[in-house]
Amino acid sequence: MSYAEQFQDMEKGIGLAHAVAEADRCLLCYDAPCSKACPAETDPATFIRKLRLRNITGAIRTIKENNILGGACGVLCPVSRLCEKECSATGISRPIEIGKIQRFLVEYGWQIGFKVFEKPAATRDKVAVVGSGPAGLSCAAELAKEGYQVTVFAERAEPGGMIRFGVPAYRFDKKFLKNELQDLYDLGVEFLCNSKIEGSKGAEKLLAQGYKAVFLSPGVWGTPRLIPNAGDVKGVVTYTDFLVALREERFEELGKQIRGKTVAVIGGGSVAMDCIESAGKLGARDVYLVYRRSFAQMPAEEEERLDALRLGIHFLLLNQPVDYLSGSDGRVKGLKLVRTRLGDPDESGRRRPIEVKGSEWVLDVDFVIEAIGQTPEETVDWSAAVKVDKKGLIVAERDTGKTSNERIFAGGDIVRGPGLVVEAVQDGKVAARAIVRELSKA
């Protein structure tokens, strides 16, 4: 099987019969806990009830009117610790497969050509949205519904932000995203791609150009390096560079570096899981996941961790990377590690890893992917226009998205740090409502 075949196809969703059978198991709870547990107010109780009553288009409309990225959330959301965790059916047998139903309904709408939205008359002010990830798309959709003239400025060649460029295609492909984005085009949202807004000066320029409000949601594309000068070692890359290369379909380029080689992925979150599976698909001989805490403390979802074990990934737990060893050609040849033990809980609530003195050792590797977090880009500074914290994140009110500048709002990862797609969607909705209220005063 070619690289393209391995990386292009998402796993198929469920069909109508399966979706209806799941909906028929719903207990039709009053004040349903599943709906309360959805950060984006997608309201699973209502769309499941409508599907149970065979009002399929009504169910689709509920999802899309509440969540413009309802399909993406159905695929990417960790439903096992959100809506499905709270499902009352769990007390009887197992939770309703809410995420799968949600994805099915959105895809079924595409199959039958059902259009939820029509383009409203754009009679109100111009609003700029900086960033085309989930928060920006959600804010743009809500504003467009209200008749605002919305322009989304996307830094890259295509909209979608992290769900377009930071998630492997076998988990979330371009065709799915293209269909989801069509709703925004139907609402009249304008996209200007390859249009990076350079920090504070860029935001102020947009206001000077006649945009009455600006919503900042550029994401956090910066990647902290584990070891100083790691970028000088050949064969050591950040997860953003690795995953973006995959989404740009540079398979042969990556395959030459990974096929038949030993790969180490440093990190314990969902992104690290994507990297280890992708390395396997590229033909790595051995893939090691290196994490300084225990298996139970990994941020990745339990099913993701178990899937990695099923794939034959070697888990090196309680090991802290401290340096890279390189050969005369400048390429990485070893990862220097020190074993750790768990101490008292830190600010995250997890037990702090403590290095064990004298336990250093070296893992022979040919390629390393650092998947240790995200930060705001160092080259982009918003501090002259809005208040930022010590991490470079924009300070905004959680229930309005308001910043220190009354005409600038913000949401998504640039405010809360790396988070869930569904959280970013809600940030966009909340900010859009606040923008409507603010501009309605004028």
Calculate the CA dihedral of residues 49, 53, 57, 59 and round it to 10 degrees. 0
Beta-carbon contacts of 271 under 8 Å, excluding residues fewer than 6 positions away, are: 166, 239, 243, 371
Closest-CA residue to 271 (of 154, 425, 419): 419
Does the pLDDT value for residue 222 go beyond 90?
A: no
pLDDT tens digit string along 122-154?
889 999 999 999 999 999 999 999 999 999 999
Does residue 307 share a domain with residue 194?
A: no
Does the pLDDT value for residue 382 go beyond 70?
A: yes
**With left for phi above 0 and alpha for psi between -120 and 50, is residue 113 left, alpha or beta?**
left
Domain boundary pick from 370, 396, 417: 370
303 occurs within a structural domain: yes
Does the pLDDT value for residue 354 go beyond 80?
A: yes
Does residue 352 share a domain with residue 235?
A: yes
Run of H or E including 432? helix 421-441
Tally of domains in the chain? 3
Does residue 234 share a domain with residue 216?
A: no
Closest-CA residue to 242 (of 264, 260, 268): 264
Q: How far is CA 260 from CA 183, 255, 285, 291, in A?
A: 43, 9, 5, 23
Does residue 307 share a domain with residue 273?
A: yes
Asked whether the beta carbons of 236 and 368 are under 8 A apart, the reply is yes
Does the pLDDT value for residue 5 go beyond 80?
A: no
Distance from first CA to last CA of the chain, Å, rounded?
Answer: 60
pLDDT tens digit string along 251-304?
999 999 999 999 999 999 999 999 999 999 999 999 999 999 999 999 999 889
Domain boundary pick from 333, 350, 370: 370
The pLDDT of 171-182, averaged and rounded, is: 94
353 occurs within a structural domain: yes
Alpha helix positions (H), 193-337: 199-208, 239-247, 251-258, 270-281, 302-310
Does the pLDDT value for residue 225 go beyond 80?
A: yes
Does the pLDDT value for residue 77 go beyond 80?
A: yes
Residue that has been written with the tokens 């809506």 in this structure: 83
Run of H or E including 342? strand 332-345
190 occurs within a structural domain: yes
Is residue 336 very low, low, confident or very high in pLDDT (cuts 50, 70, 90)? very high
286 occurs within a structural domain: yes
- SS3 percent helix, strand, coil of the chain, rounded to 5, is 40, 20, 40
186 occurs within a structural domain: yes
pLDDT of residue 184: 97
pLDDT tens digit string along 6-32?
787 788 999 999 999 999 999 999 999
Is residue 350 very low, low, confident or very high in pLDDT (cuts 50, 70, 90)? confident
pLDDT of residue 414: 96
Does the pLDDT value for residue 183 go beyond 90?
A: yes
pLDDT of residue 442: 62
Average pLDDT, rounded, for the chain = 94
Does the pLDDT value for residue 1 go beyond 70?
A: no
Does residue 401 share a domain with residue 356?
A: no
Does residue 85 share a domain with residue 44?
A: yes
> What b-and-e string marks burial along 382-421, b requiring 16 or more CB atoms within 10 Å of the CB?
beebbebeeebbbebeeebbbbebebbbbbbbbbbebbbb
Does residue 347 share a domain with residue 243?
A: yes
Does residue 30 share a domain with residue 143?
A: no
Does the pLDDT value for residue 344 go beyond 70?
A: yes
Domain boundary pick from 370, 388, 412: 370
| DSSP at 170 | T
Calculate the CA dihedral of residues 383, 388, 394, 396 and round it to 10 degrees. -120
Does residue 314 share a domain with residue 413?
A: no
CATH of residue 400: 3.50.50.60
How is the beta sheet containing 286-291 ordered, strand by strand?
Answer: 236-238, 367-370, 262-266, 286-291, 314-317
Rounded to whole angstroms, how far apart are CA atoms 80 and 304? Answer: 12
pLDDT of residue 309: 92
pLDDT of residue 223: 85
Does residue 200 share a domain with residue 181?
A: yes
Print the domain residue range for 92.
11-111
pLDDT tens digit string along 391-409?
999 999 999 999 999 999 9
* % of residues, the chain, pLDDT over 90: 85
* Tokens at 322, concatenated: 């401290």
Rounded to whole angstroms, how far apart are CA atoms 307 and 305? Answer: 5
Ramachandran angles phi, psi of 363, nearest 5° = -100, 125
335 occurs within a structural domain: yes
pLDDT of residue 55: 98
Rounded to whole angstroms, how far apart are CA atoms 438 and 141? Answer: 17
CATH of residue 106: 1.10.1060.10
Does residue 271 share a domain with residue 177?
A: no
pLDDT tens digit string along 233-255?
999 999 999 999 999 999 999 99
Asked whether the beta carbons of 76 and 13 are under 8 A apart, the reply is no
* Tokens at 55, concatenated: 């009002």
Does the pLDDT value for residue 54 go beyond 90?
A: yes
Residue that has been written with the tokens 């990225």 in this structure: 69
Does residue 237 share a domain with residue 214?
A: no
120 occurs within a structural domain: no
216 occurs within a structural domain: yes
